[in-house]
Amino acid sequence: MNKLNEVLKKKNIKPIKYQKKSNVTIIETREDKYVYKNTKIDQKVLEYLKSRNFDYIPLFLESKEFQLNKYIKALNIPDEKKILDLAKIMGLLHSKTTFYTMVDNDEYIKLYEDLDGNLNYLYNYYTDLINVAESKVYPSPSEQLLSANISIIYNTISDCKKRLEHYHHLIKNKTRKRNVIMHGNINLSHFIESEKPYLISWDKAKIGSPVFDMYKLYRYHALDFDFISILKKYESVYPFTKDEKVLFEILISMPELINLKGSEYDRCIIIDEMLEKIKRTKKIASPETSKER
């Protein structure tokens, strides 16, 4: 806090109240509010964003040691519209920061092998759960629910395997990689619409594939919104390449590792949500939907 106090004093900011809110602190003065977050931002990321004229970020008073910026008052906008606006801004972020690098094919092969290993692990994980359930004379309601739907999970893993082989075919001779500045933790809580849109919380930003930002958004909001519309809005600004599209479909289609702890009610809810996500994802990744995007 000493460094924060030094910055506040240097900027002639005189706090009268501190309010802890989630992982940030709201600093109030008689005239303004400021947001403090005790995580720093990669300065190369900020410099590159500025050089590419991506100005949908807060004006940071400090970012090297921690994040400090003026409080941004959000407009009251429905989440259904806000998520589409976020998809557009994410597309602009990736469009404005795109660059290409030469890549050793070993990098793609490693990703292929990692995904294949994950799919094998998922198959074995769910097989173990089913073996335990079927060994019981009286399986629990959650075990019965899982057993009744295990073929859906197995079929999903099988479909991912087929997509993975197609992905391998697409990338096996690639020598260039498309890179962007990834926000790294993109979701609706890190997007503010004021007099203009703002992406906030940049401490996890890094260079990488645009696929992983969209995958992160999907993980947060797959059950909250019509994700086909979100993808269409994003790709109207920044279309995925063929191999990126297949990679995204693999990532979102992989069943999650469910943690069957808590009450039976909680367990059934977890399984129901996973099955609903598989159902929605199957529609997103269908050949018909994929062609429309």
Pairing assessment for the beta strands 197-199 and 191-193 based on DSSP bridges: antiparallel
Same domain for 120 and 27 = no
Q: Which two tokens stand for residue 229?
A: 């519309």
| Residue from 270, 272, 224, 277 nearest 255 by CA | 277
pLDDT of 289 = 63
| pLDDT tens figures, 175-195 | 899 999 999 999 999 999 999
**Rounded average pLDDT over 221-234:** 96
Same domain for 240 and 152 = yes
**Rounded average pLDDT over 238-244:** 96
| For the chain, percent of residues with pLDDT exceeding 90 | 85
Boundary-marking domain end, from 33, 52, 71: 71
Could you tell me the pTM of the whole model?
0.92
Q: 81 in a domain, yes or no?
A: no
Q: 140 in a domain, yes or no?
A: yes
Q: 80 in a domain, yes or no?
A: no
Same domain for 244 and 120 = yes
* Residue 143 pLDDT greater than 90, yes or no: yes
- The domain spanning residue 215 has which CATH number? 3.90.1200.10
d(CA 244, CA 248): 6
Same domain for 110 and 56 = no
3 state SS of 246 = helix
Q: 254 in a domain, yes or no?
A: yes
Boundary-marking domain end, from 56, 71, 86: 71
pLDDT of 285 = 87
Same domain for 244 and 105 = yes
Compute the C-alpha angle 279/281/286, nearest 5°. Answer: 100
Cβ atoms within 10 Å, residue 6: 12
Boundary-marking domain end, from 51, 71, 91: 71
Q: 88 in a domain, yes or no?
A: no
Same domain for 174 and 133 = yes
- Which residue range is the domain that position 230 belongs to? 99-292
Query: pLDDT tier at 288 (50, 70, 90 boundaries)?
Result: low
Q: 41 in a domain, yes or no?
A: yes
Q: 120 in a domain, yes or no?
A: yes
Same domain for 217 and 138 = yes
DSSP 94-114: HHHT-EEEE--HHHHHHHHHH
Q: 29 in a domain, yes or no?
A: yes
Q: For the chain, give the mean pLDDT.
A: 93
- Count of structural domains within the chain: 2
